Amino acid sequence: MNGNYNANELRVLHGLEAVVRRPGMYIGSTDTVGLHHLVWEILDNAVDEANEGYGKNIFVTIHDDGSLEVQDQGRGVPYDYNAKEKKNGFQIVYQTLHGGGKFDEELYKSASGLHGVGAAVTNALSEWLEVHSYRDGIDHYAKFEKNGSKFSGIKEMGSTSLRGTKVRFYPDKKIFDDITFNFDKIAQHLDDKACLTKGVTFHLVDERTNRKQDFFYANGLLEYFNRHTVGKELLIQTLHMDGVSDDGIKIEAVFGFIKDNYDEKIISFANGVRTGDGGYHVTGLKKALTSCFNSYAINHSEIKSNESLDGDCLREGLVAILSVWVPEHLLQFEGQTKGKLGTKEALNAVDSLIEGKLSYYLEEHANDASLVVKKTIDEMRVRAKTESERKKERELLKNKTTFNLSDKLTPCSSKDYMNNELFIVEGDSAGGSAKKGRDPKYQAILPLRGKPLNTTDVNDVKTLLGNKEIATLIYTIGAGFDSDFKIKDIHYGKVIIMTDADDDGSHIQSLLLTFFYNHMKPLIETGHVYVACPPLYLVSNARKKIYCWDDKDLAKAKAEVGAGYKVNRYKGLGEMNYDQLASTTMSRASRRLLKVYIADDEDAHDKVKLFLGKDTDRRKDWIENNIDFSINDSFTEEVEREK
């Protein structure tokens, strides 16, 4: 430790260096979520231009070299020189934190970009970034390299009839865990943007696979709401409300109640950004709904004056799409990743608009109002009745459970719970190998005998605990489930799903993740659930052997091992010797684990319902519209060569 600590020891990070050194402060993480945040920052600039009335098309291209490009039809990034800052427009936008045009409300009335950070952050976390500004009939071009520190200067590339900005960047492999862009993730994001930017078409092209998809909404949120409620029976007609508050906040909300549904689904946006963690605008919506229906119920003697409708019960079956556009001087997000709106004025703005219009609607549509009130009262009665009964039932069922954990679980010896690991293994064969290859001090093995229950639509305790695999999991993890779950009581710091690399293994993995999501969500939210990554291949000859986790690894291994190689394809964990399984999949020093997290809870909830719920028609429609069942000829040829 330096005893001469003084001002000379302090350091100031200049330019984009702070972003490179601490990327998590600006994009949240360096995993796939953070990687795609680079795209959103560039895309937000294009969307802001479209929302100001410049351009009807936005193009996003995933290039086959791994780079990504966003092109708009806006005004083009200014390229001229700023005498005050002693920089040109390109340097201010792409090399300077807190620089740009978003601070001037004459230029952007309500922008999704915040504080001029986004484009510069993308540049700082990229190996290179190229910009074309099509402005004043000339194509002005510049290239940034070495995390934005090297600037080529602006070059005139000739005359052009185009208008707008084109940005292409290649993420830094040294910063991100993986720089592979996900088509489906980007497609979903563009779908969100399109519904909020009605009349503008978003074009997505993936050169790697030749996939293409366009996104366009003529009627915006109303169309978006209909897509999220397709095939569902509404309890009352869809309500659509919009307006502008006194402080200039634009509000639009579309909502309704799904009949015989117990889920709450609020999809919220602020300045075109999906606010997955909600914020003051969502609080305002909830407050208005509770207030309006309570006032109606009391005024029409559906409840007594000293009673009130519970807001949680009221919102069961609610599907709401809420969008606000906040002027720049009021705009506040919690964190650069913009997951939660922090503008307090949005609460009163949304509350006032919805309450004023909804109160009038309920008085004019008494039947709709009474249906919602009745639904809420019924749910409140059910909750009051069942909460105490459920606790008694759980205790009763726990006492009645007769299965013996000792013939399933191979425990570890350590009582240091946060260091302990539970491997959930498919089948007795793999379980046997795992038991021999484990670290007995910290690693416990729980083999599954058969597939666990699909818990997507299971809410009663008897059915849940009646499945031995699920019951065993609950007791082994030790923290309870549903509302009784207590994260402090978990017996393992890591719960690791380890299944075969085949269809059955994938199905079991999905069922286990679904159970954790539905009944032990805090286990995922606090980062305790993992998926093991056993190797798919072993390439070997008499002198050398290399394990491979994907086809790229396989190609490299073949070249490295050389002539006379042999390829083993592991379809099941039981095909590996215990020492192989230990060294490749279980050893803390050499294994690969995937950490399970919830990037977007609303989307995760929707996908679980889609793929594992009872609505087979919706699942069939999704598969038919999203899955290409054609066989790739090059893949077929490769398989034949291997044979």
Give the number of other CB atoms < 10 A from CB of residue 275.
25
| Beta-bridge mates of residue 139 | 134
Per the CB < 8 A criterion, the answer to whether 275 and 325 are in contact is: no
What single string gives the DSSP state of each residue in 405-433?
Answer: GGGT-B--S---GGG-EEEEEEHHHHHHH
Q: Is residue 85 part of a domain?
A: yes
Q: Which of 382, 411, 442 is the last residue of a domain?
A: 382
Q: Would you report the helix, strand and coil content of the chain in percent, each value rounded to 5? A: 40, 20, 40
Do residue 332 and residue 225 come from a single domain? yes
Give the CATH number, domain containing residue 123: 3.30.565.10
Q: Mean pLDDT across the chain, nearest whole number?
A: 85
Q: What percent of the chain has pLDDT over 90?
A: 45
Do residue 104 and residue 248 come from a single domain? no
Q: What is the pLDDT of residue 634?
A: 42
Predicted confidence (pLDDT) per residue in 318-357, tens digit: 999 999 999 988 988 876 556 789 999 999 999 999 999 9
For residues 435 and 365, give the distance between their C-alpha atoms in angstroms, rounded to a whole number.
65
For residues 333 and 279, give the distance between their C-alpha atoms in angstroms, rounded to a whole number.
9
Q: How far is CA 227 from CA 192, 233, 622, in A?
A: 12, 13, 12
Q: Is residue 350 part of a domain?
A: yes
Do residue 64 and residue 131 come from a single domain? yes
Mean pLDDT of 572-581: 84
Do residue 170 and residue 27 come from a single domain? yes
Prediction pTM value? 0.66
- 162 pLDDT tier (thresholds 50, 70, 90): very high
CA Rg, the chain, in Å?
28
- 103 pLDDT tier (thresholds 50, 70, 90): very low
Do residue 263 and residue 303 come from a single domain? yes
Q: Is residue 44 part of a domain?
A: yes
Answer left, alpha or beta for residue 427, where phi above 0 means left and psi between -120 and 50 means alpha: left
Q: What is the DSSP letter of 341?
A: B
Q: Which of 338, 353, 382 is the last residue of a domain?
A: 382
Q: Is residue 394 part of a domain?
A: no
For residues 67 and 128, give the distance between their C-alpha atoms in angstroms, rounded to a whole number.
9
Do residue 97 and residue 27 come from a single domain? yes
Task: State the number of CA atoms in the 13 A half-sphere of 418 facing the CB.
Answer: 4
For residues 369 and 362, give the distance between their C-alpha atoms in angstroms, rounded to a whole number.
5
Give the CATH number, domain containing residue 366: 3.30.230.10
Q: What is the pLDDT of residue 169?
A: 97
As given in the structure block, the two tokens for residue 180 are 């592979």
Give the CATH number, domain containing residue 458: 3.40.50.670
Token look-up 């601490």 returns: 22
- 75: pLDDT strictly greater than 60: yes
Q: Is residue 4 part of a domain?
A: no
Q: Is residue 523 part of a domain?
A: yes
Q: Is residue 420 part of a domain?
A: yes
For residues 160 and 271, give the distance between their C-alpha atoms in angstroms, rounded to a whole number.
32
Dihedral sign of CA atoms 119, 124, 127, 128 in order: positive
Predicted confidence (pLDDT) per residue in 196-221, tens digit: 888 999 999 999 999 999 999 988 89
Q: How far from each other are the two terminal CA atoms of the chain, in whole angstroms?
A: 62
Q: The domain containing residue 523 runs over which residues?
A: 401-534+592-626
For residues 15 and 124, give the distance between their C-alpha atoms in angstroms, rounded to a whole number.
9
Helices 280-299, 345-364: axis angle to 10 degrees equals: 30
Per the CB < 8 A criterion, the answer to whether 316 and 92 are in contact is: no
Give the length of the chain: 643
Alpha helices by DSSP H, listed for 566-615, are 578-581, 601-612
Do residue 277 and residue 149 come from a single domain? no
Do residue 225 and residue 342 come from a single domain? yes
Do residue 518 and residue 458 come from a single domain? yes
For residues 415 and 564, give the distance between their C-alpha atoms in angstroms, rounded to a whole number.
49
Q: How many structural domains does the chain have?
A: 3
Supply φ then ψ for residue 281, to 5 degrees.
Answer: -65, -40
For residues 555 and 545, give the distance between their C-alpha atoms in angstroms, rounded to a whole number.
14
- Lowest-pLDDT choice from 25-34, 222-231, 516-525, 629-638: 629-638
Predicted confidence (pLDDT) per residue in 346-395, tens digit: 999 999 999 999 999 999 999 999 999 999 999 888 777 666 666 665 56
Do residue 236 and residue 377 come from a single domain? yes
Do residue 515 and residue 477 come from a single domain? yes
Per the CB < 8 A criterion, the answer to whether 168 and 67 are in contact is: yes
Longest dimension (CA), the chain: 86
Q: What is the pLDDT of residue 400?
A: 47
Residues designated catalytic: 426, 500, 502, 504
Q: Is residue 333 part of a domain?
A: yes
Do residue 373 and residue 257 come from a single domain? yes
